[in-house]
Amino acid sequence: MTTQTSIDFQSTFEDILKMGDPFKLGVHAPINRIKNNMEKIVETKVIEKSVPCVVQGWQDEPGWAPDVFTMDSLGKQLGSKSNMPTEMVAETRLLYLGIGGTCLMLYADKKSASLVEAEAIWFVIPSTHYAKARAYWRGLNQSLDSEDYFASLQELSQAEFPIYVLRQRVGDLVILPPRAIHQVVNLGGASIKYAWNRATAQALQLAVHNVIPLYRMICRPESYRVLLLVKNSLEFMLDILLAYDTRIGGIERTPSKAAAAYASRLGNSWHRDKFARDYRILLCLYAYCLRHDAIMPGIIPDTNHQVAQPTQRENREPTRCDFCQTDIWNRQFVCLVCATSADGHDICLECVGRGRTCQHHASHLRLVEVFPTQECLLLWTQATTAWNTSTKLVRLREAPFPLNLDLQAPETATAPFSAASVAYLRHVGPRLPSQNVACHRCGATDRHLVNKQCQSPTGCRHAFCERCMYNYHGDKWHNVVASRAALWNCYACRGVCMCGACRAAAPIVLRGRWAVRHAPHEWFALPDSVNRPAVSDPPLE
């Protein structure tokens, strides 16, 4: 629920547009002009060009059924099919009550939003200018992520990015692009806004690469279980393709009735083109999810180490990290010893890689998974086979996908190792010979601290523990070991080590104090007696 605050707003819609830049008029389209082309306009204008749209008089269109504005009917008209199991479906419908002089705080949805029944002025910043908007709000000592600030008209007028202005009257439908930043001013008497969030393939792409990392950083739980939704949506799209192109062979899978019903729409060329674009996006996102959870042996410095396979989780219900609150779709670490609930103590791969753990430390955690690797790879093989061999999509395919996805190495030569690889290295580190080396600077041999050994071609094999790496040089261990750009030269080889031996060997080079620039702290939720922070986390008070 978003807080609404009373404001003094005197400007009219026309006054705002007369102010000129950065305010721009959003798309206002009468329903009688676009009713036969509405879905195409939404796709080309709102989704692709990130321009908000008001469909005027949507409520008064006589072609709609009498019950079109009931909560269930709206979903049927615009697409209500969820690719999640019933018990995991998030509530995507919201009801906002407003009256003249109140506002809806500035915030961003990671889904496309459709709203009706209101009289209001909307200020919408397109997602293409999200980074500029965040920087501008930081300059105002505010945060877009906290959703507790209403920007004044004067503050908005000084922005160096476009701000679309929309007027919504009773019966108008407002359609927003995914991740559009928006705030609303209510005018006149009491009004009701009925909002419905709709997940598109493009919205999932934005959520995976932009929104989820941000939520993890600020410890904000997500509602839609995006990564699991990617897998389930790809399964549904595969069923649609199999129902549409019956000549695809070699795949033992029976499409559902819902998939067969949707496949009938692909006879239209526009729907077929959109389906092909969405299918390709989901394939790329699914490959990203698989690589994220894959353990790449190349990160282990001990060549004779055999990577242990995760155990199967009995409960397939998605879990949430007890540190950063991020949603876990497949692989995670769990400690049943210090469990505070029936599902155990759950830690995501990113948090384990950073060094966040329970009192039993990373070496005592257990790696578990929901979906076996073979099951995940089978879906990939089936989905890519259908894509590569479909005769009805042959003109729409940009390029074939490999049938066998190599999860043993990063996607490119310079791509970092996966989060699962870094977490696994920390997990097995105390048992590796390469980790049983004293820190060059502090001499620590703490089995709960991991280190990084020098890879200089000069033969230097100094090791630095993660505490010294961060406290004296500002480097985070998980970032250093994940990088594959070049061999890592230690601080002694670079002439920046401040230990007594190095200062004695090079007193002129190392004279004076060295300022260490630390990256900003990444907060985690529930800093208590169970959760133990990483070296680079803020200390518990």
Write phi, then psi, for 295 (nearest 5 degrees).
-95, 120
Higher pLDDT: 62 or 476? It is 476
CA distances from 294 to 174, 284, 285 (A): 41, 15, 14
- Express each pLDDT in 21-48 by its tens digit: 888 888 887 776 666 666 677 777 777 7
Task: With a cut of 50, say whether residue 50 has pLDDT above it.
Answer: yes
pLDDT at 114: 52
pLDDT over 60 at 178, yes or no: yes
Q: Number of C-alpha atoms within 13 angstroms, CB side, residue 384?
A: 18
Q: Examine residue 22 and say whether the peptide bond preceding it is cis (omega within 30 degrees of 0).
A: yes
R_g of the chain, CA atoms, integer Å: 27
Band (338; pLDDT cuts 50, 70, 90): confident
CATH number of 4-198: 2.60.120.650
Collapse the DSSP code of 30 into the 3-class scheme (helix H, G, I; strand E, B; otherwise coil) and give the result: strand
pLDDT at 510: 41
For residues 425-452, one letter each, b for 16 or more C-beta atoms within 10 angstroms of the residue's C-beta and e for the rest, the string is bbbbbbeeebbebebbbbebeeeebbbb
Express each pLDDT in 222-261 by its tens digit.
878 899 999 999 999 999 999 999 988 889 888 888 888 8
In the prediction, which pLDDT does 35 show?
63
Q: Is the pLDDT of residue 276 over 80?
A: yes
Q: How far is CA 490 from CA 30, 137, 438, 439, in A?
A: 65, 39, 14, 11
Give the pLDDT confidence score for residue 292 in this predicted structure. 95
**Top-confidence residue, 430 or 376:** 376
| pLDDT for residue 7 | 52
Low-confidence winner among 28-42, 231-245, 285-299, 482-496 (lowest mean pLDDT): 28-42
The pLDDT, as a whole number, for residue 294 is: 95
What is the chain's mean pLDDT, rounded? 80
pLDDT digits (tens, 9 = 90+) for 444-474: 877 778 889 998 888 888 999 999 999 888 8
Please give the pLDDT value at position 518. Answer: 56
Quick one: which H or E segment has residue 420? helix 419-428
Which of these ranges, 137-151, 416-430, 505-519, has the smallest mean pLDDT? 505-519
| Segments making up each domain of the chain, as ranges | 4-198, 437-541
Q: What is the rounded average pLDDT of the residues 254-281?
A: 88
Residue 534 vs residue 64, higher pLDDT: 534
Cα angle 101, 104, 106 (rounded to 5 degrees) comes to 130
Specify the pLDDT at position 71.
Answer: 52
Tokens linked to 183 = 């705030």
